[in-house]
Structure 1
């Protein structure tokens, strides 16, 4: 099945509106497409204790996993700044855990977009379950 890029970006924009960003004002929305076509949204949620903040991509992954999804095809990420917003390093690692070949569509408030393959372009030689002993349950 082919990912509907415009539909995925629209869902990410919808999620972006729900962002809780009283400190940075930088709204991020994500729409994660599961292998079965289900789309799960996420937004960033800031916290006064800054390290407790969670990014949009990780809220989408957590919601997808909680709903029983473990295989992902694509994600659209949109930020309120200029130029495409790509996942941060921590989000790249979390996404890599489930989908090293994930297609990442990044967008910004100015309408600019870019498309990447996670393991090839954004986290080459990433560390994931394949690096661990096969007997670890992965």
Structure 2
């Protein structure tokens, strides 16, 4: 079903597909799943969770990032995003900025269509001028 990609993407796609099945999207019916592999090789997934008070919902990427941070890791090596349509599902503007907080020059974004077709881009291609502050150690 999926084209040849780095070995790391297959388990990410599987996790993102599972997350997508658990999405809570009663209003838009737009179920999204996401999965991240971090610097320690751990996989974290998330799904979108809508709310009747629209701005209070959460995107799939934000859920996966939260799970990564909860585990104690802070670098996204690869992230997969799977949407329910025949088009690629790129991260929204807010999620691009959230990803930027935990990305580096090597971070890869893999967008997967319903058909299984995959488009991979370097994060800097999605958000070339991301907003950021100089980070200090906690």
State the TM-score, normalizing by the size of structure 2.
0.89
The answer to whether the aligner puts 1:117 opposite 2:126 as a matched pair is no
The answer to whether the aligner puts 1:81 opposite 2:85 as a matched pair is yes
The answer to whether the aligner puts 1:43 opposite 2:47 as a matched pair is yes
Please name the residue that 2:11 is paired with.
7
Please name the residue that 1:92 is paired with.
96
Change (3 A) 1:52 1:15: same
Count the aligned residue pairs: 132
Ranges in structure 1 where 5+ consecutive residues have no aligned partner:
none
Q: Deviations over 1:68-95 (max 9, x none)?
A: 1112200011000112111111001011
Change (3 A) 1:61 1:97: same
Change (3 A) 1:72 1:3: farther
Change (3 A) 1:126 1:71: same
CA-CA distance at 1:10 after TM superposition: 1.1
Q: Deviations over 1:71-125 (max 9, x none)?
A: 2200011000112111111001011011133200001212221001112x10002
Distance in 2 (alpha carbons) for counterparts of 1:111 and 1:32: 18
- Structure 1 consecutive aligned stretches of length 4 or more whose deviation exceeds 2 Å: none
Distance in 1 (alpha carbons) for counterparts of 2:12 and 2:38: 11
What is the DSSP-based 3-state SS (H/G/I as helix, E as strand, rest coil) of the residue aligned with 1:129?
coil
Distance in 2 (alpha carbons) for counterparts of 1:3 and 1:36: 16
